[in-house]
Structure 1
Amino acid sequence: MRILGLDPGLATLGYGCIEVHRDTCQVWDFGVITTSADLPTGDRLQSLYNDLHTLIPTLQPDVVALERLFFYKMSHTIGVAQARGVILLVLSQLHCPLLELTPPQVKQALTGYGNASKIEVQQAVQRELHLSTLPQPDDAADALAIALTASRHCGHIDG
């Protein structure tokens, strides 16, 4: 099973794709989609839309896991919500099964502690995916964490 994790953001959208084989997970691909703050919001959202319409068919995930809005600094909430809307639209258009997870669910699943630090989550991702270094950038590492958590919740996927 191939799982694509997405960490939504207007400036930086992280993605991490893993392949699950019985009891093991391997990295398929990870990275970020970025948009320039110099562009109008509509153009940035269009860029995310276009890039996701290219990325998702290329990765061919069986399931997409998306971070659910939980709590953000107010200045970032609107941009993240707008990016999530674009992501949800693209996933619907591409008929991708979806699993939404909150940050505490991801932290709990990977570290055993719902208030784990970012570095603790990154170290768990590095350990579970047998990576030689911490995955970077942070948004891609978060997306890999979301994908790993989804691999443990596959019985609860909406599609």
Structure 2
Amino acid sequence: MASAVPVRGTAGTSRVAQRILGVDPGLTRCGFAVVEMHRDRTGESVHVEVTGTRSDQDLAERILVIQRAAEALLDTYAPDVLAIERVFAQNNAPTVVGTAQASGVVIAAAAARGIPVAWHTPSEVKAAVTDDGSADKAAVARMVQRILRLPALPKPVDATDAYAVAICHAWRSGIGTRHDMAAGTRTHQGARTALQRAADAGTSGMTPAQRAWQEAERRAGGGASGRVGPGSVRRGR
């Protein structure tokens, strides 16, 4: 684990590095990882922690614990952007609700500080880090260790996932990219997809598969905000 000495971020001013707060949301365990990512696709860990709450605690108190942890990290490390894993529906409804509640207070804490927020699906994260959208946890952990040059595999899994979300965002967005939470947002997930950006520029640069997906999104009412594959269902919390 990296030193927790307070370090101020570049707040979007650097064109060669980007400080990202990656979040793997959950009420029982919420993973936070602050990383500095560089143009050469390397990076380093600035800080990582997992904030936990107990199921026997009052719900309001649990939510407040997650909120305060997020606020402290945002104030201490001043990230350029907050990247958070997107919540997916699953059979365990209470787990989904808890994850959504944790996500909401973290997102609100970032928005209150003018820090932009980006959402990434589990399969997008796996694909960005390992080139395999259905990779297992061990494969993700090994690649996170290699990319960030960590002395050992990151633990627990919530820390690994938070690191992976941050790495995914850096590689998908591009280092030095300026982020705007409101500009051009067309989905409830907050971030425009590559397909949406391609549509704005015209369809000439899109592959046949991308055009087919865009047409499917149009028929469905434009509600999709990213690739959803077999690996996209979140694990239980």
- Identify the residue that residue 2 of structure 1 maps to in structure 2: 19
Give the equivalent residue in structure 2 for 1:146. 165
Deviation at 1:38, TM superposition (A): 2.1
Higher share in strand? 1
Q: Deviations over 1:58-82 (max 9, x none)?
A: 1110111000012444141111011
Closer, same or farther: CA 5–73 of 1 in aligned 2, 3 Å? farther
Counterparts in 2 of 1:38 and 1:122: CA distance versus 1, 3 Å: same
Structure 1 residue 158: deviation in Å?
4.1
Shift of 1:97: 1.0
Structure 1 letter corresponding to 2:74: I
Q: Any residues of structure 2 matched to 1:1-159 within 5 Å, and which? A: 1-23=18-40, 24-74=42-92, 75-155=94-174, 157-159=179-181
Unaligned runs of 5+ in 2: 1-17, 182-237
Aligned residue for 1:55, secondary structure, equals: helix
User: Which deviations, in whole Å up to 9, do the C-alpha atoms of 1:69-120 show, x marking residues without a partner?
Assistant: 1244414111101111111211111111111000000011111111110111
Structure with max Cα Rg: 2
The DSSP-based 3-state class of the residue aligned with 1:9 is coil
Task: List 4+ stretches of structure 1 deviating above 3 A.
Answer: 155-158
Q: Which runs of 5+ in 1 are unaligned?
A: none
Structure with higher RCO (Cα < 8 A, 6+ apart)? 1
Measure the CA separation in 2 of the matches of 1:125 and 1:68: 19
- Aligned partners of 2:88 and 2:96 also within 8 Å: no
Give the distance between the partners of 1:16 and 1:72, measured in 2 at CA. Answer: 25
TM-score (norm 1): 0.93
RMSD of equivalent CA atoms? 1.5
* Separation in structure 1 between the aligned mates of residue 168 and residue 180 of structure 2, nearest angstrom: 15
Alpha-carbon distance, 1:46 to partner: 1.2
Which structure shows the higher helix fraction? 1
Take 1:127 and 1:86, find their aligned partners in 2: how far apart are those partners? 31
1:128 partner SS? helix
Instruction: Determine if contact 2:111/2:117 at 8 Å carries over to the other structure.
Output: no
CA distance in structure 1 between the partners assigned to 2:154 and 2:26 by the alignment? 18
Shift of 1:36: 2.1
What is the Cα deviation at residue 121 of structure 1?
0.6
